[in-house]
Amino acid sequence: MNYILIDSCKSDPQNFFDFRVQLNEKIKVTKYIKLVKCTIPYDDYLINQYNNSFQVNSKTYNIPFGIYDIISLTNQMKSLVQTDLSSFNISFSQITYRLTFSATSNFSMTLNKSLSSILGFQQIQFLNSNSYTSTKTPVINSPQVVLINIKEIPDSQIVQTQNYDVDFSFTVLNTTNRGQNIQYQNQSDENTIEARCELRQLSVQLYKNDGSFFMINSGVQLLFQYE
Protein backbone atom coordinates (compact mmCIF):
# COMPACT_ATOMS: atom_id res chain seq x y z
CA MET A 1 0.00 0.00 0.00
CA ASN A 2 1.14 3.52 -0.82
CA TYR A 3 -0.02 6.95 0.30
CA ILE A 4 -0.35 10.45 -1.17
CA LEU A 5 -0.79 13.49 1.06
CA ILE A 6 -1.79 16.67 -0.72
CA ASP A 7 -1.97 20.06 0.95
CA SER A 8 -3.44 23.26 -0.48
CA CYS A 9 -0.52 25.17 1.10
CA LYS A 10 1.74 23.54 -1.50
CA SER A 11 -0.65 23.92 -4.40
CA ASP A 12 -0.92 25.90 -7.59
CA PRO A 13 -4.26 27.66 -6.99
CA GLN A 14 -6.46 27.72 -10.09
CA ASN A 15 -8.98 30.08 -8.51
CA PHE A 16 -10.75 30.39 -5.17
CA PHE A 17 -12.61 27.11 -5.72
CA ASP A 18 -10.07 24.50 -6.80
CA PHE A 19 -6.36 23.81 -6.46
CA ARG A 20 -3.74 21.69 -8.21
CA VAL A 21 -0.85 19.84 -6.57
CA GLN A 22 2.14 18.67 -8.61
CA LEU A 23 3.40 15.29 -7.36
CA ASN A 24 7.11 14.82 -6.67
CA GLU A 25 7.09 11.84 -9.02
CA LYS A 26 4.63 10.10 -11.28
CA ILE A 27 2.60 7.46 -9.47
CA LYS A 28 0.96 4.46 -11.04
CA VAL A 29 -2.40 3.27 -9.72
CA THR A 30 -3.03 -0.35 -10.70
CA LYS A 31 -5.90 -1.44 -8.44
CA TYR A 32 -7.59 1.30 -6.42
CA ILE A 33 -7.36 4.74 -4.83
CA LYS A 34 -9.02 5.43 -1.48
CA LEU A 35 -9.73 8.60 0.50
CA VAL A 36 -8.32 7.96 4.00
CA LYS A 37 -8.45 11.35 5.72
CA CYS A 38 -9.62 14.85 4.95
CA THR A 39 -9.31 18.19 6.73
CA ILE A 40 -11.09 21.30 5.44
CA PRO A 41 -10.88 24.64 7.29
CA TYR A 42 -14.44 25.93 7.33
CA ASP A 43 -13.85 29.66 7.01
CA ASP A 44 -15.46 30.56 3.70
CA TYR A 45 -18.24 33.08 3.30
CA LEU A 46 -21.81 31.93 3.79
CA ILE A 47 -22.87 34.42 1.10
CA ASN A 48 -20.71 34.61 -2.02
CA GLN A 49 -21.08 35.37 -5.73
CA TYR A 50 -22.98 32.11 -6.30
CA ASN A 51 -25.82 32.73 -3.85
CA ASN A 52 -26.03 36.43 -3.07
CA SER A 53 -28.90 37.46 -5.37
CA PHE A 54 -32.67 37.22 -4.96
CA GLN A 55 -35.71 38.89 -6.48
CA VAL A 56 -38.75 40.56 -4.96
CA ASN A 57 -41.40 41.93 -7.34
CA SER A 58 -39.02 41.20 -10.25
CA LYS A 59 -36.28 43.47 -8.86
CA THR A 60 -32.91 41.84 -8.16
CA TYR A 61 -31.17 42.51 -4.85
CA ASN A 62 -27.55 41.58 -4.09
CA ILE A 63 -26.52 40.62 -0.56
CA PRO A 64 -22.95 41.71 0.32
CA PHE A 65 -20.52 38.78 0.54
CA GLY A 66 -19.72 37.74 4.08
CA ILE A 67 -20.16 35.51 7.12
CA TYR A 68 -23.67 35.69 8.60
CA ASP A 69 -25.86 34.10 11.21
CA ILE A 70 -29.58 33.77 10.50
CA ILE A 71 -30.45 37.10 12.18
CA SER A 72 -27.80 39.20 10.44
CA LEU A 73 -28.58 37.57 7.07
CA THR A 74 -32.32 38.19 7.23
CA ASN A 75 -31.78 41.73 8.56
CA GLN A 76 -29.54 42.44 5.57
CA MET A 77 -32.12 41.08 3.12
CA LYS A 78 -34.90 43.00 4.83
CA SER A 79 -33.07 46.30 4.69
CA LEU A 80 -32.38 45.86 0.97
CA VAL A 81 -36.02 45.22 0.07
CA GLN A 82 -37.51 47.83 2.39
CA THR A 83 -36.05 50.60 0.22
CA ASP A 84 -38.74 49.65 -2.32
CA LEU A 85 -41.32 47.77 -0.23
CA SER A 86 -41.45 49.44 3.19
CA SER A 87 -43.74 46.83 4.79
CA PHE A 88 -41.46 43.92 3.87
CA ASN A 89 -40.48 41.83 6.88
CA ILE A 90 -38.65 38.57 7.64
CA SER A 91 -39.35 36.77 10.90
CA PHE A 92 -37.84 33.61 12.42
CA SER A 93 -39.92 31.36 14.68
CA GLN A 94 -38.08 30.04 17.73
CA ILE A 95 -40.78 27.35 17.98
CA THR A 96 -40.87 25.94 14.43
CA TYR A 97 -37.42 27.16 13.31
CA ARG A 98 -38.94 28.42 10.07
CA LEU A 99 -38.58 31.76 8.29
CA THR A 100 -41.55 33.82 7.09
CA PHE A 101 -41.27 36.54 4.46
CA SER A 102 -44.25 38.90 4.60
CA ALA A 103 -45.65 42.29 3.59
CA THR A 104 -48.95 44.13 3.85
CA SER A 105 -49.63 43.51 0.13
CA ASN A 106 -49.05 40.63 -2.23
CA PHE A 107 -45.55 40.29 -3.65
CA SER A 108 -43.53 37.83 -5.72
CA MET A 109 -40.22 36.32 -4.65
CA THR A 110 -37.51 34.19 -6.29
CA LEU A 111 -34.43 32.72 -4.58
CA ASN A 112 -31.61 30.92 -6.38
CA LYS A 113 -30.89 27.27 -5.59
CA SER A 114 -28.10 27.78 -3.06
CA LEU A 115 -29.82 30.64 -1.21
CA SER A 116 -33.07 28.63 -1.14
CA SER A 117 -31.20 25.76 0.54
CA ILE A 118 -29.63 28.07 3.12
CA LEU A 119 -32.99 29.67 4.02
CA GLY A 120 -35.00 26.43 3.95
CA PHE A 121 -37.25 27.34 1.00
CA GLN A 122 -38.17 25.37 -2.10
CA GLN A 123 -36.56 26.57 -5.31
CA ILE A 124 -39.72 27.88 -6.93
CA GLN A 125 -41.15 31.26 -7.84
CA PHE A 126 -43.46 32.53 -5.11
CA LEU A 127 -46.49 34.43 -6.44
CA ASN A 128 -49.77 36.08 -5.36
CA SER A 129 -49.41 36.06 -1.60
CA ASN A 130 -48.39 38.47 1.15
CA SER A 131 -46.66 35.75 3.19
CA TYR A 132 -44.31 32.85 2.42
CA THR A 133 -42.97 30.41 5.05
CA SER A 134 -39.99 28.10 4.60
CA THR A 135 -40.56 24.33 4.60
CA LYS A 136 -37.26 23.46 6.28
CA THR A 137 -34.95 24.79 8.98
CA PRO A 138 -32.34 27.27 7.68
CA VAL A 139 -28.88 25.76 7.17
CA ILE A 140 -26.34 28.25 8.48
CA ASN A 141 -23.72 25.94 9.95
CA SER A 142 -21.56 23.34 8.24
CA PRO A 143 -22.76 21.45 5.16
CA GLN A 144 -24.24 18.00 5.69
CA VAL A 145 -22.17 16.36 2.95
CA VAL A 146 -18.77 17.12 1.39
CA LEU A 147 -18.26 16.12 -2.26
CA ILE A 148 -14.78 15.83 -3.76
CA ASN A 149 -13.79 15.68 -7.41
CA ILE A 150 -10.27 14.82 -8.60
CA LYS A 151 -10.08 15.74 -12.28
CA GLU A 152 -7.25 13.31 -13.13
CA ILE A 153 -9.03 10.21 -11.82
CA PRO A 154 -11.08 8.53 -14.57
CA ASP A 155 -14.78 9.26 -14.13
CA SER A 156 -15.99 6.88 -11.47
CA GLN A 157 -19.21 8.54 -10.35
CA ILE A 158 -19.27 7.08 -6.85
CA VAL A 159 -21.87 9.77 -6.27
CA GLN A 160 -24.37 10.42 -9.03
CA THR A 161 -25.13 14.11 -9.56
CA GLN A 162 -26.65 16.04 -12.41
CA ASN A 163 -24.28 19.00 -12.43
CA TYR A 164 -20.76 17.81 -11.69
CA ASP A 165 -18.48 14.79 -11.33
CA VAL A 166 -17.87 13.46 -7.83
CA ASP A 167 -15.26 10.86 -6.93
CA PHE A 168 -15.49 10.87 -3.12
CA SER A 169 -18.02 12.04 -0.56
CA PHE A 170 -18.59 11.93 3.18
CA THR A 171 -21.20 13.01 5.68
CA VAL A 172 -20.26 15.70 8.20
CA LEU A 173 -21.15 13.96 11.46
CA ASN A 174 -20.81 16.94 13.79
CA THR A 175 -21.89 20.53 13.36
CA THR A 176 -18.86 22.61 12.42
CA ASN A 177 -18.95 26.36 12.94
CA ARG A 178 -17.00 28.77 10.79
CA GLY A 179 -13.41 29.02 12.00
CA GLN A 180 -13.29 25.28 12.81
CA ASN A 181 -12.11 22.31 10.72
CA ILE A 182 -14.32 19.75 9.01
CA GLN A 183 -12.67 16.38 9.67
CA TYR A 184 -13.10 12.99 7.99
CA GLN A 185 -11.49 9.66 8.92
CA ASN A 186 -12.24 6.61 6.78
CA GLN A 187 -12.92 3.62 9.04
CA SER A 188 -14.05 1.16 6.36
CA ASP A 189 -13.76 0.44 2.64
CA GLU A 190 -15.97 3.36 1.65
CA ASN A 191 -14.65 5.97 -0.75
CA THR A 192 -12.55 3.41 -2.58
CA ILE A 193 -12.36 3.60 -6.38
CA GLU A 194 -11.16 0.82 -8.62
CA ALA A 195 -8.78 2.61 -10.96
CA ARG A 196 -5.89 2.12 -13.36
CA CYS A 197 -4.13 5.36 -14.17
CA GLU A 198 -0.90 7.33 -13.94
CA LEU A 199 -0.94 10.55 -11.96
CA ARG A 200 1.51 13.44 -12.23
CA GLN A 201 -0.73 15.96 -10.51
CA LEU A 202 -4.05 16.14 -8.67
CA SER A 203 -6.60 18.89 -9.35
CA VAL A 204 -9.12 19.11 -6.52
CA GLN A 205 -12.60 20.59 -6.34
CA LEU A 206 -14.67 20.57 -3.13
CA TYR A 207 -18.46 20.97 -3.16
CA LYS A 208 -21.11 21.33 -0.50
CA ASN A 209 -24.35 19.35 -0.55
CA ASP A 210 -26.22 22.40 -1.91
CA GLY A 211 -24.00 22.38 -5.01
CA SER A 212 -21.88 25.41 -4.10
CA PHE A 213 -18.08 25.32 -3.87
CA PHE A 214 -15.89 25.51 -0.82
CA MET A 215 -13.55 28.47 -1.09
CA ILE A 216 -10.06 26.97 -1.03
CA ASN A 217 -7.74 28.50 1.56
CA SER A 218 -4.56 27.17 3.15
CA GLY A 219 -4.92 24.09 5.31
CA VAL A 220 -6.98 21.76 3.10
CA GLN A 221 -5.38 18.30 3.40
CA LEU A 222 -6.35 15.05 1.68
CA LEU A 223 -4.68 11.69 2.39
CA PHE A 224 -5.13 8.96 -0.22
CA GLN A 225 -4.12 5.31 -0.18
CA TYR A 226 -3.48 3.53 -3.46
CA GLU A 227 -2.14 0.32 -4.91
pLDDT per position as a tens digit, 177-203: 777 888 999 988 899 998 899 999 998
Question: What φ, ψ does residue 51 adopt, rounded to 5°?
Answer: -140, 20
pLDDT on residue 215: 73
Give the model confidence (pLDDT) of 34-75 as tens digits: 999 999 888 778 888 878 999 999 999 999 998 888 899 999
Cα 12 to Cα 84, 105, 113, 192, distances in angstroms? 45, 52, 30, 26
Distance CA 40, CA 183 (A): 7
Distance of CA 139 to the CA centre of its chain: 11
CATH 2.60.120.1100 spans which residues of the chain?
A: 2-45+141-226
- The answer to whether 65 and 52 are in contact (CB under 8 A) is yes
Answer yes or no: are the C-beta atoms of 177 and 166 closer than 8 Å: no
Mean pLDDT of 192-219: 83
Q: Is pLDDT at 158 greater than 80 in this prediction? A: no
- Choosing among 1.20.1290.10, 1.10.490.10, 2.60.120.1100, 3.40.50.11810, the CATH entry for 2-45+141-226 is 2.60.120.1100
pLDDT band at 210 (very low <50, low <70, confident <90, very high): low
